[in-house]
Amino acid sequence: MGFKVRIGQLYRSRTNGSVSSRRFVCSKEGHQLSSRTGCPAFIRVQLNDSGKWVVDHFHKEHNHNLENESENFAPSLQPIASATVDSSTGITRRPRKKLLEVANGEPICPFGVINFKRLRKEELEGQARIEPHVGQEFSSPVEAYQFYHAHAAYKGFRIRNGQLFRSKNDGGITSRRFVCSKEGFQHPSRVGCKAYLRIKRQPSGKWVVDRLEKDHNHDLSPEKEHRTASLPASNILTEEVNTELVNSDIFRIDNYPVLRGGRQNHIRSDWYNMLLEYFQSRQAEDTGFFYAMEVDNGNCMSIFWADGRSRYSCSQFGDVLVVDTSYRKSLSMVPFATLVGVNHHKQPVLLGCALIADESEESFTWLLQTWLRAMCGRQPLSVIADQDVSIQRAVAKVFPVTHHRFSLWQINAKEQELAGLMGHGFTKDYEKCVYQSQTVDEFDTAWNALLIKYGLKDNSWLKEMYEKRASWVPFYIKSTFSAGIPLKESMESFFGALVNGQTPLPEFIQRYERGLERRREEERKEDFNTSNFQTFLQTKEPVEEQCRRLYTLAIFKVFQKELLQCYSYLGFKIYEEGPLSRYLVRKCGNEDTEKHVVTFNASNIDINCSCQMFEYEGVLCRHVLRVFQILELREVPSRYILHRWTRNAEDGVFPDIESWSSSQELKSLMLWSLRETASKYIDAGASSIEKYKLAYEILREGGRKLCWHR
C-alpha cells in the first residue's frame, strides 16, 4: 500500500503477565519526530483461547500521502543476525548494541538506547589530572560532565547534575551546574558542600566554565574514588536525576516497547519527551521540584516526579502512603500512578506521581526507593497498595518495618465473584466474620465455620487471603495508624476523572495541573474555614473546648461525634491492681450489644481501648472518653492530640523533633517549611505596590534580627 509500520503498544494478562494483545502502527503515528504526522492508522491483534492471534481493531485511514504504487515498494523483511526468540512472549531479542545506528537522520535500533559520546580511558586519565579553571572550553555539556567526573574521581569525590537555566526567548539551556554529590541536605549523606562547576553556552556554540568553587567541607577519598574508566551511559541519568543532564541534545528515544533484558515498557517515547520538557520548566519555577527516571540496560523506563509542595506535605503527612495504581483495572493507554497521603483536614494530598513502565518487582522497588529518597528517607507507618506479589515484595524490601495494607478493589472483585456463586447468605456470613470479629479466636472460629458451611475449604483464593489476613482484615489492620482511611471502601482517586489511564498525551499536563490546583484550592478553603470559623460546643465538657481550640474543623467534628456518643455508654470497673485498672464499656440497653475494654494506668495517664480507634485514626474513641468522665479527667493528655491533626500542622512547629533520625533530615524539613511559608508570603507581597513595600520592610527587619549582614 506504500507506508511503513512500527511496533506500538502491548497489553499483558493480569493473571500470568503474558502478552494478550499488541498494536502495529503506521510509522508516522505520533508527533515526537518532525517526520511524523500523528497518523491514526493501526492494526491490533489479540490472543484468543485457541492460541491464535486475531485482529480485533483495525483503522485503515491515513492522514498523509502513501508511496506511489508504481515505485514497486518492496515489503521484504531483512534477516536479523544472531537473533533469539523468547518462548514466553514470542518476541525476537536482538543482540546488545552499544550505539544507536542512524539511517536518513533517524534511529533504526528498536530499543530506545541512549547514545552518549564516550571518551577513551587514556583520554580520561589525561583529563583527570587537569585542574578545572574559569574560561575552560568544552564542545558540549556531556564533554564537560565527563571531564569533571574524571577530575572528581581523581581527587576523591563524586559529582551529580545540579541546577540548569533556560533562555526566556527560546527555552534553550543557557547554563548548567555540576555539583559535589554531598551538596545540599536532602539526604543524610549530604553535608551542604559548596563545591561546583558551572558552564555557560557561548554564541559560538561552545560551553565555557564561568563559575567554579573548588573547596569542599568534607574529607576526600582519592584511593576510593580513583576510577578514571569511561563513564557508563546510564550513570548520567541514574545518579540523583532530580536535576539530571537529560535533554534532546543528548539522547534520543525510539518508540518501541521491546527492551533488552526481558522487561517490557508500557510508556510511549513521546511521553518521555513531553514530560522531560515539562519537568525542566517546573524546576526553573520551583527549586524543590524533584524528578527521576529509571534506566535499565540503557533504556528509559519508569518516571517519578514531585513538586516542592508535595515534598513538604510528605514531611507532615507522609506517615500514611496510598500507592494508587487503579489504572490497572482496565486496558490503559497511560500507566499513571499517584502516591497520596491524608492531610490535617482528612483530604487526600499528593505526595508524588509516576508513570510505571511495567508491573515487575524492579519497577515498583525503584518507584518506592525513589519516593523515599525524594522525601528525606522517612518511612511511612503504613502503605496501602495492591496485593500483587511484585508489589508485596517491593514494599517489604523498601519499607521493612512498614505495615502493608491491601487496596480493596482487587479484594472486592473476588468477593463479588464468590457472592454471585454462593448467594446472599454467604455475603451476610462473610461480612460478619470479616468486619465484626473483635479477637483472633473470634475471627478464626467464624472463618472456619464459613468454609465448612459453604464447602470452600479448597478454595485457593480464600486460602491465600487467610494467610495474608494481617494485610486486609479490619481487626488486624486497625492496630496500625492509617489516618482513618475507611476499612470498607477504597480511597477516592486524587485526580478523579480528570487524569486516568485513558488521558491522551496532548491533554495530560493541562489536566494534571488543573486537577492538582483543584485539590489544593480545596485545602486552602479548609485552611480558611478552620482559621475563621468555629463549631458550636454541644456539651460543657472542658475536653470539648480544648479540642475545638487545637483540632482542624474536620478532625474536631470526628472528636465531637465521639464525645456526644459516649453519653450513650456505661462503664464498669472490672479490674484494679496498683495504678492499673480496666473498665468494661458497653452501650446502654441490651447487654449483648457492642462491648469494649478500656485499660488505664494512673502512674503515667496512659489509656487504650480494645476498639483501637486511636491507634488507627489518631482520635480518642467514645469508650475512652466515657472513662475520662468516670475518672473526672478534664483535659486530653497532650500525647493523645496528634500534631498532624492540629490547626498548626503546616505552620513549621515540630513538637516531635526527637523522632527525626538525623540533623540533615531536620534541616531539610526546616528548609521546606520556610520555603512553603515564603512562597505564600511572596504571593501576598506581590499583589500590589503597597503590599510589596510593606513585605520588603518586614523582610529587612527580619534580616536584621537574623543577622544577614554581619
Residue 625: what pLDDT? 96
Judged by average pLDDT, the poorest of 56-70, 336-350, 454-468 is 56-70
Judged by average pLDDT, the poorest of 278-292, 323-337, 542-556 is 323-337
Give per-residue pLDDT as tens, 623-663.
999 999 999 999 999 999 999 999 988 765 555 555 554 56
Separation between Cα atoms, residue 644 and residue 381, nearest integer Å = 13
With a pLDDT cut of 90, the percent of the chain lying above it is 39
Above 90 in pLDDT, residue 216? Answer: yes
Decide: pTM greater than 0.75.
no
Helix/strand/coil (H/E/C) assignment for every residue in 297-328: CCEEEEEEEECHHHHHHHHHHCCEEEEECHHH
Residue 161: what pLDDT? 86
DSSP 229: S
Separation between Cα atoms, residue 248 and residue 38, nearest integer Å = 20
Separation between Cα atoms, residue 334 and residue 339, nearest integer Å = 16
Between 250 and 31, the more confident residue is: 31
Given the DSSP bridges, would you call strands 403-406 and 382-385 parallel, antiparallel or unpaired?
parallel
Above 70 in pLDDT, residue 108? Answer: no
Judged by average pLDDT, the poorest of 192-201, 291-300, 318-327, 476-485 is 291-300
Judged by average pLDDT, the poorest of 115-124, 237-246, 270-279, 487-496 is 237-246
Above 80 in pLDDT, residue 666? Answer: no
Residue 703: what pLDDT? 82
Judged by average pLDDT, the poorest of 123-127, 290-294, 705-709 is 123-127
Residue 255: what pLDDT? 35
Between 500 and 699, the more confident residue is: 699
Assess contact for 19 and 47: CB atoms under 8 A. Answer: yes
Judged by average pLDDT, the poorest of 234-243, 495-504, 519-528 is 234-243
> Long-range contact list for 197-200, CB < 8 A, 24+ apart?
197/132, 197/144, 197/148, 199/138, 199/141, 199/144, 199/175, 200/174, 200/175
Give whole-number Cα distances, 623 to 240, 537, 563, 587, 607, in Å.
Answer: 49, 20, 9, 9, 11
Above 90 in pLDDT, residue 369? Answer: yes
The residue among 416, 377, 413 whose CA lies nearest residue 398 is 377
Residue 489: what pLDDT? 76
Above 80 in pLDDT, residue 27? Answer: yes
Split at pLDDT 50, 70, 90, the class of 100 is very low
Burial level of 594, CB count in 10 A (0-12/13-18/19+)? middle
Judged by average pLDDT, the poorest of 16-20, 25-29, 550-554, 569-573 is 16-20
Separation between Cα atoms, residue 542 and residue 376, nearest integer Å = 39
Separation between Cα atoms, residue 364 and residue 392, nearest integer Å = 9
Above 90 in pLDDT, residue 351? Answer: yes
Whole-number average pLDDT of the chain: 80
Q: Which cell goes with 337?
A: 500512578
Give whole-number Cα distances, 403 to 301, 330, 499, in Å.
Answer: 28, 27, 29
Give whole-number Cα distances, 185 to 181, 375, 613, 667, in Å.
Answer: 11, 12, 37, 7
Assess contact for 39 and 63: CB atoms under 8 A. Answer: yes
Mean pLDDT over 562-590 rounds to 92
165-174, 447-456, 659-668 — most confident range: 447-456
